[in-house]
Structure 1
């Protein structure tokens, strides 16, 4: 890289973001200072435009750089993907160096203050986005992408890399919801050289055990290294994917299973995963590898994945922390050539490959005869219980489904373990209907009317958490700590409530539950803030060891009263 490449970056930023970057705070300052501020902020804007697939106007409006930015120069929440982007940018006129330790530590502290959140530590630009940030923090599935973009040529120092890694390990103690991406001069130049949307993606891909179809449309299929998919993701996301399909959804039951398989059983990944469907304008086999179908190198033009975004995203996520294991995995893939095909063909492939029925873990619950017993018993009392996918609950209040039943049973346990699992990944509770934890929740001893009462108690807890006008971090406790609170409500009130013979809880009981819920929430906040004042609450209540510690302390204090 050189001053020529820096000049290309500068010219692009000036042309793209002229009049789109707020520089009011630089009025009256020197032209040199105004230019540097514009370029630094434009680097942040371009980073968000390229990674978030937004317009230059949207990206410019998402710049937060200025006095009191707390190290965060850009912020954008991608609601479609539940992904909050936080950017720090640095313009280096000489094109050398990277980012010093003090700058990166300021950025990481700013990220902490966003997560808590502490809006009083931020400038007006970030405070104007507080509703957007709050929306991201309230969503338990939100992931964070931290991006450092700078125009120096050097890599980050070992000390800076260690600071970042330590920060990520601390935050990602329950799940990998925070990732860090670095874009230096060479990365920015290549991204800009390809255009914001990018030239068509061209790759050479090694396919093993490959086959082909010639009619009516040419296609190749076989196995590719999972590490290749991870590399595509890192280099070409988001334009790797067709714009009319779902993007990566983050921590879902299915995606967590994909990541866990790659981490723990990579050699079995091919057996467990359905694979990826990709479209391309052309695909040609290269001479390398000869005529054997065991292995071939193929040149693929205008690559787009139309089915398998979750697989690709999960592979990339696993590769960031378990590179060696991901390199052991292979994935099924098929490349369908669009050359000489009707225009409608691409849309039809995309639509049909994304509308197939998928078996969820909860579907296997239908094989348990105890579920049908519970349903039949409740039907005699006019209560509708739905445990099969596709069944529709009636419109009256006296109905519930397998999800509510599972959460209620998980929360109505002496220990906190299953309540945490219900919050973190409820599908794990349905993993195997022949053994625990499922058998602990659903077995022949489960009384159907008691189950219905437990669901009503769970609903009352949710009412108690939602009816008060909580704000700030207290509000986040009410959202993310709901299963924890429910466990404590069951622990303290269930014996009293279970004595009532009626299948419905009374108005008096409802008020008792809501009052108890609100009191427990306040006690929980006091203890959790003493122990984990900096915690990201969406992550804290998915962390079993930390929840056990808080739970033990709560019980100890209650017993001491």
Structure 2
């Protein structure tokens, strides 16, 4: 136990996982138990020790959940037990505790799981709302005895009973003392191979490299059973299954097995160490025996998978074929050399970065989510049939749409300038992680398509000059915006149309938002041209203004401010509607009539509907000037659950409970916590989600109060009474 204890201290002491219990007499025991939980996280995921330490939830009111990890739709729940003698127990009381914790988790009753669960609430909510979520309960027990059969049976029964409609929702894994020892001592499951290398060659400098041929039947044996998954785990992508490439390899092997060596690119392996097996014959070209420790296929997974498949149907063909292999020993190489070889082997071939991303797990999950949740097609691989517009979308279109709605306008700029930028790992992770639902992706794609449809009309008008002569706006300028600014315009519209919570909008509300796009695009195009002209001159290149990240960020920021704050958008629209003749002399009657209709349509989209009470209250306050710009409002919890949970969360950062009023009908509150503008309801909903894990609709105008203690609803109602009295 001393070695395990020492390793746990070395790896996890630096990260302060017991700062909350530092003065307790049992602090060391609590540290060791938490360190075991963190170690289990490193075994189950690719997280570093520091990242694993951040998953610890053990503490007051944790209900048996000592660590939690959310990866896309998968949730990993860890319960750990430490014992100095290596016989940690897990009895009926422990079963009850962890089952209670899972119960609260599934009911989204996150506040019952202790304060350390708060940072994970948003990810948990998304994962539990996804189609077919997966939960893994990991018991990390410092014991050689395993889990008692009766205890295991009881635990599995309780787990199945948690979700009767999906009894297999939760899977159980046990990590015992031997597995923990393997983890801290750096050992891992690996594949060792014995190879007879035909027509061999070798180079020793700067690092050992063997090359030669092996029978295809030998490769089929490598992929048999569980070894295949482990053998290719290091590869940057899995085999693509029933793809055109895979079918071509199989066809070559079946119909021309004797030529397979010449038609196929072969397989590259790396290994921890390669050494002779037996005594090599004196003949230079005779086969030699090699023993590979810790072997991995880093290139040629398609070849291996195709050979495995043909072995099942045409073993006689496989028996006639040979495969070229390269074997690289990493024993004396730099630490990162294996990863560098892996990347190079898959990028120097005609494989694009988007191909490497197409086999990421979240893409497979999205494909499945599109099919199950929306009955639509999500085309991932290059060469797949592109679905009809109404039947789905491609991974490329999804990436562009997600980049467009990303909070940072630089993503929209780069997506237009160089779409391959999106497939670089860091950028890809930013737009696809945590994994968006098919619902969100599809609506983002819908918005991008709506914007592109409208700017496409602008660019295709036969008499563009007549339509574009507004106030000093040239037809060439409009055409340039139509060609280059579609993604940046989508970014701006997304962040000014009160559609941030895509999944909360019902179908009718979303259709209403899309119906506003044409009018908003027409106005936004004109304002964007004004912004670009003012910043870079009337002869500047529009393409640079909307695709160079730094410039695009400035353009998007100014345009967003104009549209959201109404500094120019409503004034311009009203001027065109109410005083069209002021511009007629300058631009011509036909053009102004057309533009006036567009502007009038836009103004109508800004009018409040007979929707929520919150919308009416805000509209009244803004139109009547009932709250001064810059007034500080405070959050006043409205329900018993709010009063119980929100004050403590706000005390941690008082800015969370304050917002500054601005006279905007759509987003009048600027939250002090992040400086972003919200509608009253969307801000309260976000606060309740972060603080309590509760994502229900609320009437936000009841929560925000002025310095006199009146809520927004009360302020509007008071004016309604006094206003009616005054009219009478």
Report the TM-score, using the length of structure 2 for normalisation: 0.39
Instruction: Identify, as 1 or 2, the structure richer in helix.
Output: 2
Report the TM-score, using the length of structure 1 for normalisation: 0.48
